[in-house]
Amino acid sequence: MKFALVGVGGAGGRIVDALRKVEQNSDRAFSNEQTLLFDTTQSAFEAYDHVPADRHVLIGDTHPDIRGTGLDGDIELGAEVAEEDTDEIYREFDKLATHSVHATLLVAGLGGGTGGGVGPVILEGLQSITDNPVYVLGILPADIEGDQQAYNAARSLQSYVDLADNVILFDNEEWADDGGDLDAQYPQLNIELVTRIIAVLGVGELEDAPIAETMLDPSDTMKALDSGGVSSLGYATTELDRPDSLLGKLLAMLRSNDTEQEITDAAKIKDLIQATVDSKLTLPCSVDSAERAMLSLSGPPDVCSRKGFETGRYWLEKETDTVQIWAGDEPHDASLIAASVLLSNVTDVPRIDEIQRRAVAYKREHVEDSDASDELSAETVDPSETAEQQTDSPDDAATRAGEPADDDGEETPSPTPDGDSAEASGGGDTAKTTADGDSAEPSADGERAVGSDTESRVGTEERIQDSE
């Protein structure tokens, strides 16, 4: 599947740059060179070697409180400057040939002022310019970063889930070493993340790959992601002990017809598939809370045992407790076999609960006692709402992230790209979810309606209020 990549803030820029670096050095065309990086910090762009300068967009540079120096975690200010610079943001979207890709992936650190505040406004804009899905890759802050980052993450996650077609999460707390300097660990964390993203979302994009026995195509990935909500990725590899010489390879191929060898290969593949879920996921979660899953196996065809693949797939079906699994193989000549899993719309995620608890504590201590308490109290849903109240007409405000209340106090559904509250997407057989997580209609292939509990999963602000 091919993606336009849109990075927002420092994390977004670094991760998109890392994705492009891997893409440029591999035979997987993942982005079709469709990239844009938005930031409020001028100096951030200097670090990017793999996204050309004409795709670097500085916003908020005329704002007296920013002037290219970043937001220092202020998501309200982030939403405000993004709203002020909306025209420029839309002009920059013209550089993205969204028709040449299947979907857009917006990448951002949810704890940052730019990633958490500017990001949802950009996401809403992207949804309005393309009929293809727009997914988010969001980074959750580590605990040592502090309560403000948790608060930002809880608030922006709500907006992202409401507006995106799916939000894939990566948890810095799970992946960073305790006690180490977090900034110094980013390059390594980003390699881990990018490897998983390319393995899962880039499936089917290998150039000159042999024909797969069961091919996954972009519509399969879209169906798996079409549940909405938040998702997690798993990945595992096993090195192949293979001879390099042609004769050695021939002998290995002959051996693969041997019954004993077949049993060993099958067991190896099944174990590998199990390891994708049993090892560290990008977002720790209960696997059986996933609504949908996608499995892919990639490696030399002579060692990717069909029997092992089918047994592994069956195991995953039982483990996730869902029959909505798309699975396929990707044969290619490599020195390892890799298995990857997408767990879509996971609902049991202790880490999100933890971040929400910290957000409640932070709000009590800092937000409600601050000068901005009137603005930020009961009606506050997300950062962009603050800016709407200052700059928008009521009609515009009704379409902003976080869903401001109607006159009657009820929430309105999230708009789909054409402004309707819900419709079947351009892919033909996927169903858009509304802001409250209900599916507009079942997908055309007869699968059940999706996303019914999205709001209860990440209804952050509501939860913040309930907890109080």
Residue 404 in the binding site for ligand GTP (CB under 6 A):
no
Q: Per rule CB under 6 A, is residue 113 in the interface with ligand GTP? A: yes
Please give the residues from 63 up to 82 whose contact with ligand GTP meets the rule CB under 6 A.
Answer: 70-73
* Cβ at position 370, least distance to ligand GTP in Å: 17
Q: Which helix (H) or strand (E) holds 354?
A: helix 350-362
Please give the angle made by the CA atoms of 342, 12 and 379, to the nearest 5 degrees: 90
CB of 145 to ligand GTP, least distance (A): 5
Phi, psi of 212 (to 5 degrees): -80, 155
Interface mask toward ligand GTP for 273-312; x: CB under 6 A: ----------------------------------------
Query: Bridge partners of 177?
Result: none
The residue behind tokens 């409600």 is: 368
Name the residue nearer to ligand GTP (CB basis): 159 or 439.
Answer: 159
| Residue 121 neighbours by CB under 8 Å, 6+ apart | 79, 82, 83, 86, 89, 384, 387, 400, 401
| One of 5, 6, 7, 14 touching ligand GTP (CB under 6 A) | 14
The stretch near ligand GTP (CB under 6 A) out of 22-30, 110-118, 327-335, 352-360 is 110-118
Looking at beta carbons only, is 111 or 331 nearer to ligand GTP? 111
Paired strand residues for 238: 337
Q: Is residue 145 close enough to count as binding ligand GTP by CB under 6 A?
A: yes
Q: How far apart are alpha carbons 438 and 456 in whole angstroms?
A: 11
Which lies closer to ligand GTP via its Cβ, residue 383 or residue 437? 383
Q: Measuring CA to CA, how many Å separate 124 from each of 61, 161, 242, 301, 383?
A: 21, 11, 49, 42, 13
| Residue choice 9, 300, 404, 417 for contact with ligand GTP (CB under 6 A) | 9
Counting contacts by CB under 6 A, is residue 60 touching ligand GTP? no
Sheet bearing 166-171, strands edge to edge: 56-58, 35-39, 3-8, 103-109, 134-140, 166-171, 230-239, 336-344, 292-299, 325-331
Min dist CB 436 to ligand GTP, Å, is 28
**Count of residues near ligand GTP by CB under 6 A:** 24
- Residue 99 to residue 415: CA distance in whole angstroms: 21
189 binds ligand GTP (CB under 6 A): yes
Shortest Cβ distance from residue 281 to ligand GTP (Å)? Answer: 15
- What angle is formed at CA 329 by the lines to CA 324 and CA 335, rounded to 5 degrees? 140
Q: 102 or 155, CB closer to ligand GTP?
A: 155
Q: Which stretch binds ligand GTP (CB under 6 A): 7-15, 29-37, 271-279, 333-341?
A: 7-15
Q: Which residue from 7, 60, 109, 331 is in contact with ligand GTP, where contact means CB under 6 A? A: 109
Interface pick for ligand GTP out of 151, 186, 235, 362 (rule CB under 6 A)? 186
Pick the piece of the chain touching ligand GTP (CB under 6 A) from 6-14, 219-227, 267-275, 287-295.
6-14
How far is Cα 397 from Cα 399, in angstroms, rounded to an integer? 5
Half-sphere exposure of 433 (CA within 13 A, CB side): 30
Which residues are part of a known binding site?
113-115, 145, 172, 190
Q: What are phi and psi of 11, to 5 degrees?
A: -60, -45
DSSP string covering 126-156: HHHH-SS-EEEEEEEPPGGG-HHHHHHHHHH
Residues within the interface to ligand GTP (CB under 6 A): 9-11, 14, 40-41, 70-73, 109, 111-115, 139, 141, 145, 149, 172, 186, 189-190
